[in-house]
Amino acid sequence: MGMCLDIEGCSFQNREKARFCAQCGIPLQGTLVQGRYEIIELTAKDRITASLQAIDRHERRPVTVRVLLPKKASAAERETFLQDADLAVLLSSRMHDTGSIHVTDFGQDGPIVFLVKSVYDAEMPVSDSRLFKTRVHSDPPQSNGELSARTLQEVAFPQTWSTTAHSAGAVAYDGKRDHPRTPIPDEFFDDEDMLTQLRPAVPKGGQVQENEVQSGRQQPSETHWQLMQQGQQEPALAPLHDNLTAANRAYEFGQYEEALREYEELLNQNEVLVEAWSGKGATLLMLGRPEEALLAIDHALSLGPNDPDLWNSRASIFHELRRFEEEMYCYDQALAHDPNFVFAWSGRGMTLAELNRPEEALAAFDRALVLDPTQSVIWQAMSDTLYVIQRYDEALIAINRALDIDANNAMLWDTKGNILRRLKAPEQALPVHEHACMLAPENATVWFDKANDLRDLRRYPEALADYDHTLTHDPTLAGAWYNRGNVLAALRMFDDALESYDHALDYDDGLISAWYNKGSLLHELGQHTEAVAAFDRALAVDAHYIAAWNNKGLSLFALGRLEEALAALDQATSFAPEEPDAWHNKAVVLEKLGRLQEAVSCQEWANSLEAKKS
C-alpha cells in the first residue's frame, strides 16, 4: 500500500503499484512522471496545486514538479495552467542568470497536468516560487486538515430556570418550609459545542495561524503572467521576471517585509504592473495594514476593473475592516463579471452567516455548491449555519457530504459528533469523536468534545480523564475547566470542583454558569458568604438570571439576613412568576419574618402552580 504524500490533508492508503493517489490525485512517492521525474516528497500545497521535490532521471539533478490537483481544478484552470507553462518555458529559455528559476518542461501524465522547474546552474532546487501568478489572498495556504479550521471556546450558559420545576438552576422545596435546599450542580452541564469558525481573521503582523485554513473563501486574485509582458520590451523581461519571482518567493515564505520591498521596486520600474499591485495588496493585508492594502487593490482594479478575482480580494479586505456593506458590493461586482464564480458565492455566504442572516447565507452556499459540489469547506460552512439555526438533521446531511470529499479532516468528524450529540445521540457521537481524536491526537477541541459525550452518557470517570487530557493540550480552555468542574461535582468531589471552576474563571471571568455553579457548591458546603459573592458575580453578567436570584436568597437566608433574602426572592418571583419553587422559598422567608398571612398566600400560590404542571 502506498500512502499519499499529503499526510496532513489526505493520507489515503492506495493500492500497491498505484502511481497517483486515488483520493486527491497527487503522484505517489517513487512515481516516474512521464517516465523521467521521480517523485520524492511533497513540499507545498495550496487550493488547486501541489509542489513536489523530484529527481530528473535524465539529467540526474533535483527539480520541482508542480501539479494541478485533478479533483480541485476546473477544465478552464487546467487549460490556463498549460498555457502559462508553455509561455514560461519560452521565457525561461531567454534567461541565463545563475540562480534564476527556469521552467524546463510541462505536460500531462495520467490525471495530472504538471510543469517542471529548477534553479539555473545550481545544484539545489528552490521551493515553489509562483513563477507565473501572484496570489492576492487573505487566507493562508491550506495545510493541516486537522487544524483547518479555527474553533470557538465553549461558553456555558445554563437553560432558563423558569421553564420547568427541575430545569437547570431550580431550587426544589422539600416539604419542610424551614429547610429549603439547593441541588448539587451535577445537572448544570453545558451542552454548547465548539463550532467551526466560518471565517478566519487575517493574522496581525503577518503570522499565519494553522487553525485558520478552513474558511471556504477564495484563494484570492490570480492574474496571468502575460499581463506583465504587455508594453514591455524584450530586454526588460529578465530583470522584471527576476524581481517578480523574488517578491513572490518572499511572500510565499512569509517574509512579508521583504516581499513588500520587492513589489514596490517592481512598481518603480513599471507602475501599471497589475501583479505587483495585487501582490502588494496581499502583503499589506498579511502585515495587518488593511487600509493600505485597500489602496493597492484599488489601484490594481483601476488597471483590471473586470477581474472578478480582484473584486473578491477587495471584499476580503473590507471584511477585515468590518465594512460589510462594501464587502457585499464587491461580491456583487465579482458575480456581475462572472456569475459562476464559486468563491464569491461562498465568501458572500460566510459573511451573511456572520451577520446572522442564515437563510440568505444558505442560499449563497447552495449557489456555490451547485457550481462546484466538491468544495468540502463550503459543505462544512453550510452545516455550521444549519447547526446554528438548530436544523440538525440537515446539518448532518451537509457534514456527511463534506466527509465524502475530505474523509481525513478531523474537524469535520468533530462537527459531525457535535451534531449527533445535539440530536440526543451521544452513544453515536462518541465513536465519531474517537475517530477525530485518532486523526488529530494533539487537538484539544476533539478531546473536549469526546469528553462531553462521555459526560452525557454519565460515564464520569472517563469524562474526567478526557477533560484532563484536553487541558494538557490547551490549559487555557475555560469550557474544559468548567465542564470538568461539573463532572467533579457529579462525583461529589466538591473541593476539586471548586478549584476547577476557579481555573475556568481565571481564563473567562464572564463565564456566568461557572459563577453560578461555584455559588451553588459553596452554599451546599455551608460557605454562604462566599456563595453570595459568587451569585453577585453571575448577576453582574445577567441581572435576569432567575436561578442566581433564587440561590442568593437561600444563602442570605442561611446567613440570617432575612430582609435581603426576601428582596432576592422577590426578584426571582418577579422574573419567573410561574415558577413554584421560588414561591415556596419566598414563603419560608416570610414565615421566618413573622409575616404568616403572606407566607400562606405564597405557599398556596406555589401549590396551585404545581397542580397546573402535574
Burial of 100-111, coded b for 16+ CB within 10 Å and e otherwise, reads bbbbbbbeebeb
Q: What is the pLDDT of residues 30-70, one digit of tens each?
A: 888 887 888 999 988 888 899 999 888 777 788 899 999 98
Distance of alpha carbon 386 from alpha carbon 556, whole angstroms = 44
How far does Cα 384 stand from its chain's mean position? 10
CA atoms within 13 A on the CB side of 71: 14
- What's the confidence (pLDDT) of residue 241? 58
- What's the confidence (pLDDT) of residue 594? 95
Distance of alpha carbon 241 from alpha carbon 441, whole angstroms = 44
| Distances, alpha carbon 286 to alpha carbons 136, 290, 522, in Å | 10, 8, 48
Residues in the chain: 614
- What's the confidence (pLDDT) of residue 237? 39
Q: Phi/psi of residue 33, each to 5°?
A: -70, 125
- What's the confidence (pLDDT) of residue 150? 22
Note whether residue 447 is domain-resident. Answer: no
For residue 21, give the nearest of 40, 6, 4, 9 by alpha carbon.
Answer: 4
Assign 14 to helix, strand or coil.
strand
Question: Band of the pLDDT at 430, cuts 50, 70, 90?
Answer: very high
Note whether residue 98 is domain-resident. Answer: yes
**Which domain does 28 fall in, by range?**
2-126
CATH number at residue 83: 1.10.510.10
Indicate if the pLDDT at residue 372 is higher than 60.
yes
Place of cell 476533539: 446
Question: Band of the pLDDT at 191, cuts 50, 70, 90?
Answer: very low
Question: Band of the pLDDT at 243, cuts 50, 70, 90?
Answer: confident
Note whether residue 287 is domain-resident. Answer: no
Note whether residue 81 is domain-resident. Answer: yes
Note whether residue 605 is domain-resident. Answer: no
Indicate if the pLDDT at residue 202 is higher than 80.
no
Note whether residue 30 is domain-resident. Answer: yes
Indicate if the pLDDT at residue 201 is higher than 70.
no
Give residue 206's region: left, alpha or beta (phi > 0; psi -120 to 50). Answer: left
> Do the beta carbons of residue 80 and residue 133 sit within 8 Å?
no
Q: What's the domain count of the chain?
A: 1
Q: What is the largest CA-CA distance in the chain?
A: 103
Q: Mean pLDDT, the chain, as a whole number?
A: 80
Note whether residue 31 is domain-resident. Answer: yes
Q: What is the pLDDT of residues 273-284, one digit of tens each?
A: 898 999 999 899
- What's the confidence (pLDDT) of residue 96? 62
- What's the confidence (pLDDT) of residue 432? 97
Find the distance separating the first CA and the last CA of the chain, reported in whole Å: 64
- What's the confidence (pLDDT) of residue 9? 83
Indicate if the pLDDT at residue 177 is higher than 90.
no
Question: Band of the pLDDT at 366, cuts 50, 70, 90?
Answer: very high
Q: Is the pTM of this model over 0.75?
A: no
What is the average per-residue pLDDT within 9-33? Answer: 82
Note whether residue 63 is domain-resident. Answer: yes
